[in-house]
Amino acid sequence: MEPKILSAVSRSTLKRLPLYLHVLEDLHRRGVVYVSCTTIARKFDFGPILVRKDLEVTGAAGKAKIGFRVAGLIDDIKKFLGWHNVQDAFLVGAGNLGKALLGYQDFDSYGLNIVAVFDNDPRKIGTRIFNKEVLALDKLAPLVKRMHINIGIVAVSSEGAQAVVDALVAAGIRAVWNFAPAPLEIPEGVILENARLTQSLAVLTNKLKSLLAGPEKE
């Protein structure tokens, strides 16, 4: 079957695919060749039918009784997500979070490669973090064009975030991955995706509140 092209693919499905990928790569490392949706679903709190429906969008095909070939499935998901070819990206903001992102080894297996860091703090410009030199913002636009960069990562404070996004867009960036909590504006035709940690935290603390308040009922 062909993978879905112009994305009627739901966000929920898209967000579950990397979960499967992690499980699959673990199985692959352990030498497992075939896997069923039932086996994958056991790792999560939802059922095998949902897994099957999700995998459908990637174009992967399984066989009755034996399931999907692990290696093939990994390839299909990665291709569908665009992780089979690693994309170069620019990072803006060399603070605490920026450093962590720079030092993260695994991004390449998620199709991402941070090739340069920018900051507006003169004390940081010129220093090296994880063997990458921190560059001034006026280098951003020419380098985006010269290196044909599509992805910009925003890890600056909330106040600076909109200005940084505007600069990235003006420079020709096609997609922005934003870590600041502020809601940002972006023109048509450019992708904005927010990595909001606090959303996850909100779910946690709310559940915890209920748990601590009334563990007797359910």
Partner DNA sequence: GGCCTATCGATGCAATTTTATCGATAAAAC
Partner DNA sequence: GTTTTATCGATAAAATTGCATCGATAGGCC
Instruction: Select 47 or 103, whichever has its Cβ closest to DNA.
Output: 47
Residue 91 in contact with ligand NAD, rule: CB under 6 A: no
CA dist list (Å): 71 to 75, 110, 169: 6, 16, 37
Instruction: Select 34 or 44, whichever has its Cβ closest to a copy of itself.
Output: 44
Distance in angstroms between the alpha carbons of the first and the last residue of the chain: 43
Residue 213 in contact with DNA, rule: CB under 7 A: no
> Which of 41, 89, 101, 117 touches ligand NAD (CB under 6 A)?
101
Residue 200 in contact with DNA, rule: CB under 7 A: no
Q: Which residue is nearest to ligand NAD (CB)?
A: 95
Q: Do 178 and 184 form a contact (C-beta atoms < 8 A)?
A: yes
Following DSSP, what letter does each residue of 122-174 receive, concatenated? TTTTT-EETTEEEE-GGGHHHHHHHHT--EEEE-S-HHHHHHHHHHHHHHT-S
Q: Which two tokens stand for residue 91?
A: 């990072």
Identify what 94 binds: DNA, a copy of itself, ligand NAD, none; CB under 5 to 8 Å per kind. ligand NAD
Cβ count within 10 A of residue 168: 27
Instruction: Select 120 or 194, whichever has its Cβ closest to a copy of itself.
Output: 194
Amino acid at 21: L
Distance CA 65, CA 44 (A): 21
Residue 201 in contact with a copy of itself, rule: CB under 8 A: yes
> Which of 68, 80, 90, 179 touches ligand NAD (CB under 6 A)?
179
Where on the chain is the footprint of a copy of itself (CB under 8 A)?
5-7, 9, 11, 14-15, 17-19, 22-23, 26, 43-44, 80-83, 87, 96-97, 99-100, 103-104, 106, 110-112, 150-151, 158, 174-175, 177, 181-183, 189, 191, 193-215, 217-218
